[in-house]
Amino acid sequence: MSTRSTPRLRIAIQKSGRLTDNSLDLLARCGLRFSRARDQLVCFGENLPLDILLVRDDDIPGLVQEDACELGIVGQNVIAEKGLALPDGGAAPTEVTALDFGRCRLSIAVPDESVYAGLESIRGRRIATSYPRVLGRWLADRGLAADIVAQAGAVEIAPRLGRADMICDLVSTGATLAANGLREVEVVFESRAAVIRTPVPVAPEKAEWLDRLMQRIEGVQKVDGSKYIMLHAPRAALARITALLPGSEHPTILPLDGTDEKVALHAVCRENVFWETLESLKGAGATSILVLPVEKMLA
Ligand code: PRT
Ligand code: ZN
């Protein structure tokens, strides 16, 4: 437990935006208790030596890189763009683990009415984007010269304003593109939220908590996609039933009282279990099928 003398860790997360709720939820599920007041910059961890710094997402890689925080949660899109801004040999924060939220893609989109005939249609055109470095590298990798129009926001209106021929912006559902008469033609970068850590070595007393927190984050990630399944199976159908269980190689087989033909099977499935799977299990002879959520897991 935390004591007065334990040095405190800091994790930077987005103050207010698409990643905020998921980031706070992840920390709460790692066992951290904190109270959050409006407009607060720092949330004090009440039961662990860990404080939360609430900032703009764009500032997170810099804060972690400068060691103002040991950890950060931010989109891989931001990590990539800021990482490319570092001078050669500059120490970037290390990405430790990718998370299961904040999924989106950085894509090139063209006005609905314009013809797109593959990469050659990009050559020599003006592309508005808030990700000039990631886009620049993607173009360079393909030997394409184009005119990158760097723009902080509202990229999707650049073609209508005559500032650009196409855009390169984040897409999740595609609704914004559609509303602006644009269509997605190339995916430049796939992204989700990730945990980054300082490139600077961490003092041993802090390192222990840092490792523990990382283990807990990985534990939360694992259980999110996991289910515990219990069923009764005829011995003769065990191989078939086991093959139907998603992501579970070594189930536990237990004897059942009063019968030799049937056994109980317990397994952790590392993927979600859908109704279709249950129906197939039943079809293969399984009975008394129960699917339970997994709350915590430590490998
Ligand atoms: O104030 P601050 O700088 O912290 O926030 P921000 O406005 O820069 O970021 P925010 O909250 O919009 O996004 C934070 C992170 O969420 C991004 O860096 C991505 O990693 C991730 N993310 C996931 C997204 C989206 N999905 C997304 N759809 N970020 C932005 N968008 C925008 C996109 O730019 C476009 O305007 O949503 C629009 C497209 O959405 P669809 O659903 O219409 O396709
Ligand atoms: Zn931002």
Q: Is the CB of 102 under 6 A from ligand 1?
A: yes
Largest CA distance in the chain: 79
Q: Is the CB of 172 under 6 A from ligand 1?
A: yes
Q: Is 141 left (phi over 0), alpha (psi -120 to 50) or beta?
A: alpha
| Mean pLDDT across 271-298 | 92
- CATH number of the domain to which 210 belongs: 3.40.190.10
Does 2 have pLDDT greater than 50?
no
- 205 & 72 share domain: yes
Ligand nearest to the CA of 55: 1
User: Could you list the residue range(s) of the whole structural domain that residue 257 is in?
Assistant: 227-293
- 42 & 91 share domain: yes
Number of domains comprising the chain: 3
b/e burial code for range 133-145 (CB count within 10 A of at least 16 → b):
bbbbbbbeeeeee
Minimum CA distance residue for ligand 1 atom 17: 75
pLDDT tens-digit profile of 19-74?
A: 999 999 999 999 999 988 777 899 999 999 999 999 999 999 999 999 899 999 99
Which residues lie across from 75 on neighbouring strands?
193
Closest CA to 33 of 24, 21, 23, 20: 24
Q: Which atom of ligand 1 is nearest to the CA of 56?
A: 4
Say if 198 falls within a structural domain. yes
Choice from 15, 18, 73 to test ligand 1 binding pocket (greatest atom count within 8 A of CB)? 18
Say if 2 falls within a structural domain. no
Phi, psi for residue 55 in degrees, rounded to 5: -140, 175
Does 1 have pLDDT greater than 70?
no
Closest CA to 72 of 145, 19, 123, 36: 19
- 65 & 146 share domain: no
> For residue 247, what pLDDT is reported?
78
CA distance 214 to 26: 11
CA distances from 18 to 104, 153, 172, 216 (A): 11, 16, 12, 23
pLDDT tens-digit profile of 145-192?
A: 999 999 999 999 999 999 999 999 999 999 999 999 999 999 999 999
**Mean pLDDT computed over every residue of the chain:** 93
Place of tokens 């990382």: 214
User: For residue 87, with 0-12 CB atoms within 10 Å meaning exposed, 13-18 middle and 19 or more buried, which class applies?
Assistant: exposed
CA distance 63 to 132: 21
Q: Which atom of ligand 1 is nearest to the CA of 76?
A: 20
Does 126 have pLDDT greater than 90?
yes
Among 98-112, 118-132, 209-223, the range scoring the smallest mean pLDDT is 209-223
Question: How far does the centroid of ligand 1 lie from the alpha carbon of residue 51, in Å?
Answer: 25
Say if 56 falls within a structural domain. yes
| Mean pLDDT across 228-252 | 92
Question: How far does the centroid of ligand 1 lie from the alpha carbon of residue 170, in Å?
Answer: 7
> For residue 110, what pLDDT is reported?
98
- 65 & 77 share domain: yes
Model confidence at 17, in pLDDT bands (50, 70, 90)?
very high
Beta strand 126-129 with 193-197 is unpaired
Under DSSP, the state recorded for 194 is E
Ligand nearest to the CA of 81: 1
Does 234 have pLDDT greater than 60?
yes
Among 8-17, 37-46, 199-208, 286-295, the range scoring the smallest mean pLDDT is 37-46
- 169 & 26 share domain: no
Maximum mean pLDDT: which of 112-126, 195-209, 260-274? 112-126
Q: Is the CB of 235 under 6 A from ligand 1?
A: no
Does 277 have pLDDT greater than 50?
yes
Minimum CA distance residue for ligand 1 atom 9: 17
Say if 298 falls within a structural domain. no
- 63 & 142 share domain: no
CA distance 191 to 278: 33
Question: How far does the centroid of ligand 2 lie from the alpha carbon of residue 202, in Å?
Answer: 27
Q: Which atom of ligand 1 is nearest to the CA of 15?
A: 4
> For residue 88, what pLDDT is reported?
77
Provide the whole-model pTM. Answer: 0.87
> For residue 93, what pLDDT is reported?
86
- 200 & 97 share domain: yes
Ligand nearest to the CA of 19: 1
> For residue 297, what pLDDT is reported?
85
Say if 182 falls within a structural domain. yes
184 vs 224, residue with greater confidence:
184
Question: How far does the centroid of ligand 2 lie from the alpha carbon of residue 74, in Å?
Answer: 10
Q: Is the CB of 169 under 6 A from ligand 1?
A: yes
> For residue 4, what pLDDT is reported?
55
Question: How far does the centroid of ligand 2 lie from the alpha carbon of residue 58, in Å?
Answer: 5
Q: Is the CB of 191 under 6 A from ligand 1?
A: yes
Q: Is the CB of 198 under 6 A from ligand 1?
A: no
Q: Is the CB of 57 under 6 A from ligand 1?
A: yes
- CATH number of the domain to which 242 belongs: 3.30.70.120
- 139 & 198 share domain: no
Report residue 111 as tokens.
Answer: 């006005």
Say if 73 falls within a structural domain. yes
